[in-house]
Amino acid sequence: MASRFVSIWFRHLTTDWFAIRQQALAKHSGETKPLLKDLPFVLRAPSHGRMVITAANAFAERKGITPGMVLADARALFPDLEVLDDKPDLSEKLLKRLALWCIRFTPIVAVDPPDGLLLDVTGCTHLWGGDERYLEEIVKKLNARGYDVRAAMADTLGVAWAMARFGNEPLVVAPGRHIEALLPLPPEALRLEADAATRLHKLGLHQIRQFIQMPRASLRRRFGPHFIMRLDMALGQEMEGIEPVEPVEPYQERLPCLEPIVTATGIEIALQQLLETLCLRLRHEQKGLRSAVFKGYRVDGKIERIDIGTNRPSHHVSHLFKLFEIKLPTIEPALGIELFVLEAPKVEDHFAQQEQMWEGTGGLDDERLSELIDRLAVKVGAQSIRRYVPDEHYWPERSFKPAASLQEKLTTNWRTDKLRPLNLLATPERIDVTAPIPDYPPMLFRHNGKLHKIVKADGPERIEQEWWLQQGQHRDYYRVEDEEGYRYWLFRLGHYHEKTYQWFIHGFFA
């Protein structure tokens, strides 16, 4: 597929933004003062002790006022000129914001300072009915936002940039005709350094057609390697890459809408269609997603977004749809969503599981268990669900650890030869005991202000510390039951005869 690129030129980027903001504030407050968009106005900034014009709107330019002019000279030309203070780095911030907005037309959008954007639209234009309608839609929507733009499309970034700023209609250059479109343009259309363009004009070379056939060695000698590089980029003889404002996910599907979608049913249909397309691709590549993002680009420029995650790679459409379905009500379409995007930032290998003829199904390898955990995680939060695996330590609170994933294999087996409480405290809690007997559990103990009388007991079970971790006293554990039938796991820290022993509660049996 032949590459196609679009260059967007914001002819009055910063002054347009000031006019848009002033109009919005006036509408909100009900003011009736004249709008900036209907007046000649400029932006100013100090430079070497004097005020200099940094930007001028179209009305001011028609009065002969241009950027770089001293403000006093501009007022002499037009005394009623409106003047506002420029904001540092405003154009850079505006271009970044507009580039993110333009992702609704293509995933590859780059900033082109100081007043433009570059779009790689290869394979995108058919979704809008062709190159002309695609470019018209971009210009129409940016004009509706209040920006004065020119946009052009061509086979190379260089020609698209040149046509947007110096070309005549039509601004959609037909495939394979980019060199022909470049010939009548001035040298500045090649994005040359100012000195090189000035020298070309002094030599009487006012159009690219006048020097494009000259020997490359002569051009390189007179104008330098940068000149040759720009010329080759425009002609398509040297590749020119662009750096997107947002990295393009390898696994991404897009669904533009002919009319903005405002209903929950329409959003569900869009999600279902995107999931089917993405999962079909994942299935063919033996991949499964571990995380996915569903985005809706609204007409007003805002982006609605919901995320899901899975415990294991999945390309099961109905399961993934159920995970998204719980969060779909949080999407607010407002005036409508005109583009839906589904991305899978994290993808892993997913091979078909071989069926076992003689062994039963279930366990951690059962996809149904994984899907159940996914649905629970969406409802209660992934942080509320934990899996633990045994760890090789003696003390009970160290004998297990959180699993990295549902599929993590055990490095040691759970201990099943001794009874352990269902609820184990992360840190043992000190208790007060009465009537202790050497090497026996106490007859009474007090925990959280409540006195418990022990009627049954079993033990002791001695558990030592690992000498390679720390030195200290051992623990003697007892399983006890109080008069109400509740069972506890108590231990004495240290020997009874040492007189420094202490009693703790460490868990609760079912």
CA-based torsion, 197, 198, 202, 206: positive or negative: positive
Quick check: 119 and 246 in contact, CB under 8 A? no
Quick check: 331 and 296 in contact, CB under 8 A? yes
pLDDT band per the 50, 70, 90 thresholds, residue 363: low
Whole-angstrom distance, CA of residue 311 vs CA of residue 439: 48
pLDDT band per the 50, 70, 90 thresholds, residue 510: confident
Please say if the pLDDT value at position 355 is more than 50. no
pLDDT value at position 337? 94
Whole-angstrom distance, CA of residue 453 vs CA of residue 438: 18
pLDDT value at position 435? 65
- Region 75-91: mean pLDDT is 91
Burial bucket for residue 289 (CB in 10 Å: 0-12, 13-18, 19+)? buried
- Region 181-189: mean pLDDT is 95
Give residue 152's Cα distance to chain centre.
29
Closest CA to 17 of 106, 164, 166, 142: 142
- The tens digit of pLDDT for each residue in 63-73 reads 899 999 999 99
Task: Look at domain 5-166 and name its CATH class.
Answer: alpha beta
pLDDT band per the 50, 70, 90 thresholds, residue 365: low
- Pick 368 or 311 by higher pLDDT: 311
- Residues sharing a CB contact under 8 Å with residue 503, sequence separation 6 or more, in sequence order: 430, 431, 432, 433, 436, 442, 445, 490, 491, 492, 493
- The tens digit of pLDDT for each residue in 141-176 reads 999 999 999 999 999 999 999 999 999 988 999 999
The lowest-confidence range among 301-315, 398-412, 424-438, 445-459 is 398-412
pLDDT value at position 356? 47
Whole-angstrom distance, CA of residue 459 vs CA of residue 469: 26
- Pick 222 or 400 by higher pLDDT: 222
Residue 162: both structure tokens together: 């040149």
User: pLDDT > 70: what percent of the chain?
Assistant: 93
- The tens digit of pLDDT for each residue in 154-163 reads 999 999 999 9
| Mean pLDDT score across all residues of the chain | 88
Whole-angstrom distance, CA of residue 326 vs CA of residue 336: 21
Whole-angstrom distance, CA of residue 251 vs CA of residue 267: 20
Quick check: 44 and 51 in contact, CB under 8 A? yes
pLDDT band per the 50, 70, 90 thresholds, residue 295: very high
Please say if the pLDDT value at position 419 is more than 60. yes
- Region 79-96: mean pLDDT is 93
Please say if the pLDDT value at position 358 is more than 70. no
- Region 89-98: mean pLDDT is 94
pLDDT value at position 280? 95
pLDDT band per the 50, 70, 90 thresholds, residue 497: low
Please say if the pLDDT value at position 364 is more than 60. no
- Region 334-363: mean pLDDT is 74
Whole-angstrom distance, CA of residue 62 vs CA of residue 371: 65
Give kind and range of the element (H or E) at residue 75.
helix 71-77
- The tens digit of pLDDT for each residue in 13-53 reads 999 999 999 988 887 777 767 788 889 999 999 988 899 99
Q: C-alpha angle with apex 111: 109 to 114, nearest 5 degrees? A: 155
Please say if the pLDDT value at position 468 is more than 90. no
Whole-angstrom distance, CA of residue 500 vs CA of residue 498: 5
Please say if the pLDDT value at position 352 is more than 70. no
The lowest-confidence range among 114-118, 187-191, 343-347, 403-407 is 403-407
Look at the chain and count its residues: 510
Whole-angstrom distance, CA of residue 446 vs CA of residue 180: 94
**At residue 269, what is the residue type?**
I
Q: For residues 195-218, b (16+ Cβ closer than 10 Å) or e, as one string?
A: ebbebbeeeebeebeebbeeeeee
317-325 vs 367-380: helix crossing angle, rounded to 10: 10
- Region 315-342: mean pLDDT is 93
Q: Residues 310, 315, 319, 325: what is their CA dihedral angle, to the nearest 10 degrees?
A: 80
pLDDT value at position 169? 87
Residue 69: both structure tokens together: 């002019």
Please say if the pLDDT value at position 395 is more than 60. yes
Quick check: 167 and 242 in contact, CB under 8 A? no
- Region 296-325: mean pLDDT is 91
Which CATH code fits 252-349?
3.30.1490.100
Helix residue ranges per DSSP H, 145-258:
157-166, 178-182, 194-202, 216-223, 225-235
Whole-angstrom distance, CA of residue 314 vs CA of residue 374: 11
pLDDT band per the 50, 70, 90 thresholds, residue 8: very high
> For 369, phi and psi rounded to 5 degrees?
-65, -45
pLDDT value at position 122? 93
Whole-angstrom distance, CA of residue 280 vs CA of residue 288: 10
Cα Rg for the chain, rounded, in angstroms?
36
Give residue 388's Cα distance to chain centre.
31
